[in-house]
């Protein structure tokens, strides 16, 4: 414990030192269950909109509707690569912290935040240059609703990662006690998976 704390350069902080390991594990497990339930309900939310988009597609004689072009698959692919790359760096950041390699954790987290921000920038660029005929179309409504909702989740994830990084620097997390970082990483992987579905739905299918 002493070696790991020294490697991180911080103490437990935030009242963790007053909590026994058994108490922490019990609290962590309850929080983990609650977080999984949150992700489950969020996935249901996305699923409802995805099935609505599929219904619109099945009801339309031509999809996308006449006069509406699909979004640029190359730009979508670049955004996908950026987001999936951020999922890899988020994974390595988590492992660096578990290994008491705090500097590695910080750098991988910073890269994850930068990649997530680049994804949002790419989405903003796409929105700014989208075809004008999309306005009022069912394809446009489905596209903007789902990708906009996903973009909001990415934004929340970026803010979440920034907050956990600042908390880590302040000494909140250690290799033994890091549920907040686990939740942030799971959330980031969640937005990765959702983008796989949306990329297929709007850019390929």
- Residue 188: give its domain's CATH number: 1.20.120.80
Question: What pLDDT is stored for residue 172 in this prediction?
Answer: 86
Question: What pLDDT is stored for residue 79 in this prediction?
Answer: 95
Question: What pLDDT is stored for residue 140 in this prediction?
Answer: 85
Question: What pLDDT is stored for residue 2 in this prediction?
Answer: 35
For residue 15, the SS3 value is: coil
- Domain total in the chain: 1
- Long-range contacts: 55-58, Cβ < 8 Å, 24+? 56/138, 56/139, 56/141, 56/142, 57/142
CA distance 110 to 93: 9
Q: Terminal CA-to-CA distance of the chain, rounded, Å?
A: 52
Question: What pLDDT is stored for residue 152 in this prediction?
Answer: 97
Q: What are the per-10-residue average pLDDT scores of the chain (205 residues)?
A: 38 51 69 89 94 89 81 92 96 92 95 97 90 74 92 97 93 84 93 94 88
Closest by CA to 54, choosing from 142, 168, 158, is 142
Domain that residue 149 falls in: 2-204
């Amino acid at each position: 414990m002493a070696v790991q704390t020294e490697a991180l350069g911080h103490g437990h902080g935030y009242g963790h030192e007053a909590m026994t390991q058994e108490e922490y594990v019990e609290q962590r497990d309850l929080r983990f269950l609650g977080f999984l339930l949150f992700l489950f309900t969020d996935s249901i939310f996305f699923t409802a909109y995805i099935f609505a988009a599929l219904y619109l597609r099945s009801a339309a004689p031509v999809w996308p509707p006449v006069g509406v072009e699909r979004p640029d698959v190359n730009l979508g692919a670049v955004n996908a690569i950026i987001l999936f790359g951020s999922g890899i760096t988020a994974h390595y950041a988590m492992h660096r912290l578990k290994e008491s390699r705090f500097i590695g954790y910080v750098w991988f987290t910073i890269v994850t935040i930068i990649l997530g921000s680049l994804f949002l920038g790419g989405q903003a660029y796409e929105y700014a240059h989208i075809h004008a005929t999309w306005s009022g179309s069912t394809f446009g409504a489905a596209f903007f609703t789902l990708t906009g909702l996903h973009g909001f989740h990415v934004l929340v994830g970026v803010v979440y990662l920034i907050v956990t990084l600042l908390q880590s620097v302040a000494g909140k997390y250690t290799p033994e006690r890091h549920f907040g970082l686990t939740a942030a990483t799971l959330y980031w992987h969640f937005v990765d998976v959702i983008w796989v579905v949306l990329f297929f739905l709007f850019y390929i299918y």
